[in-house]
Amino acid sequence: MTSAPPTNLPAGAPASSAPSSVPPLATPTPGPRTIRRQGSTRSGARLLLGDLLYGTPGRMRLLGALAVLAALLLGATSVNGVLAAKAAVDRAASNTAQVVRVQSIHVDLLRADALATNAFLVGGLEPPDQRAAYDAALDAVVTGIVEASAAQPADEAALAALAEQVQVYSGLVQQARTNNRQGLPVGAQYLKEASAGLRADAVPIVGSLVTANEGRAVAEFNRAGSITWLIGGLIAIIGLVLVAVWLARATHRYLNPSLSGAIALLLVALFVALSTILSIGSTTSAVAGNEYRDAVALADVGTAANDARASESLTLIARGSGQASEKRWKEQAAFIDASLPDLPDIDAADWAAYTAAHEKIRKADNSGDWDGAVKLSTATTPGSAGAEFRAFDTSVTTARDDASRQAVSTLTGAGGNTPLFAILVAAITLVACWLSIRGFAQRIREYT
């Protein structure tokens, strides 16, 4: 008897398509490892980072990294502060030297004018020594302009304009001399024009240069002792202490020799940097309040004295119409009288002797004895106005040069070991970073 075909097969289906008693294999579901392999590298990195930062050990690793960053911050700010202080004091020395150069130009310009105007009073051929002194003063002006231009590029344009005005002045003086030797009255007009142009055109340029360079010098004096960088260092130290406290509470181990050593070393680095900068700042403050101040004050006195001497001669050259020049003499004399008490190295007796001689000149001129006044003004014998003025001018110039050299020398030598201290601070910082890493690694091993 033939058996019937299965009723669940579709009509016409072959017998071989009958279902087997063995169930079909299920498609495997991808597991975590498969997902990780199939994921991107970025996703794997995120998972790895999550594992590293998971739980208390993860927080330890994160805070350990922050501790290292805090140490690096302290080291970087300390090194930068030390090197910045050294750079500032070096710039202060450079700017101080430029102030001295420009002030010397100012003094020499007016000294040349004082010599030219006084020599003009003699008439005819000038005294050889006064002509030589005038040439030397003008040569010093030219040399000073060249040196100042090379030392400070920011002053080049102003110094170039000043050089042009000096050429105009020297040309007018030469014309005045030529006419004076020939006995022509127009020589006096050339000389008055030269002196007026010097004060109207050249002196303001020098004054602006002096002001600009004094401003630069004072700014660098202030920067040399700045400790604003200390804020970053203190923040880093506070952060490290807070991290150490957290670690102690989390692990119930209240002493971590490595981390404590790192904090101690960083405090040492902070102290070295702070003491170095304060030392530089103390030196610059002392120079600013002593040698630099004296150099500036002495230059101002020398400038005023030579301006007064020139005004004395211009008053006589004007022959009765030199009231403006005499007024200028009195203004400059009042400035010098007020300045001398603050300059103990200058013998005020020389200035008093010159002012007394000037009073005799004015008395003779006001009484109608112009020739006698000229003779008193141009005399160079001991006790004369010329001799007393030369003594005062020489003492002021010598004191100014000494103060200037001392100021520049002290500033140049300030912070001479600063690069070594910077290297020391950097080395201490690296050791502190290593100790921080070691301290956290030890606690992580103990915790896990």
Is residue 291 within 8 Å of 99, Cβ to Cβ? no
Q: Is the pLDDT assigned to residue 272 strictly greater than 80? A: yes
Q: What is the pLDDT of residue 443?
A: 73
Q: What is the pLDDT of residue 6?
A: 45
State the average pLDDT over residues 275-295. Answer: 91
Nearest one of 49, 132, 96, 436 to 256, comparing CA atoms: 436
- The pLDDT tens digits of the residues spanning 246-271 come to 877 777 777 778 888 888 898 998 89
Q: What is the pLDDT of residue 317?
A: 92
Mean pLDDT across the chain: 84
Q: What is the pLDDT of residue 13?
A: 43
Nearest one of 204, 209, 137, 115 to 165, comparing CA atoms: 204
- The pLDDT tens digits of the residues spanning 317-339 come to 988 788 999 999 999 999 999 99
State the average pLDDT over residues 273-285. Answer: 90
The two three-digit tokens of residue 345, written as one number: 């190295």
Residue 440's pLDDT band, with cuts at 50, 70 and 90, is: confident
Q: What is the pLDDT of residue 55?
A: 58
- The pLDDT tens digits of the residues spanning 64-96 come to 888 888 889 888 888 988 898 899 999 999 999
Amino acid sitting at position 131: R
Q: What is the pLDDT of residue 15?
A: 43
Residue 51 buriedness (CB in 10 A; 0-12 / 13-18 / 19+): exposed
Is residue 299 within 8 Å of 243, Cβ to Cβ? no
Q: What is the pLDDT of residue 1?
A: 41
Nearest one of 45, 63, 62 to 53, comparing CA atoms: 62
Q: What is the pLDDT of residue 47?
A: 52
State the average pLDDT over residues 301-309. Answer: 96
Give the global pTM. Answer: 0.77
Q: What is the pLDDT of residue 197?
A: 93
Q: Is the pLDDT assigned to residue 18 strictly greater than 80? A: no
Name every residue whose Cβ is closer than 8 Å to that of residue 169 and which is 6 or more positions away in sequence. 113, 194, 197, 198, 202
- The pLDDT tens digits of the residues spanning 207-246 come to 999 999 999 999 998 888 777 777 877 888 888 888 878 8
Residue 54 buriedness (CB in 10 A; 0-12 / 13-18 / 19+): exposed
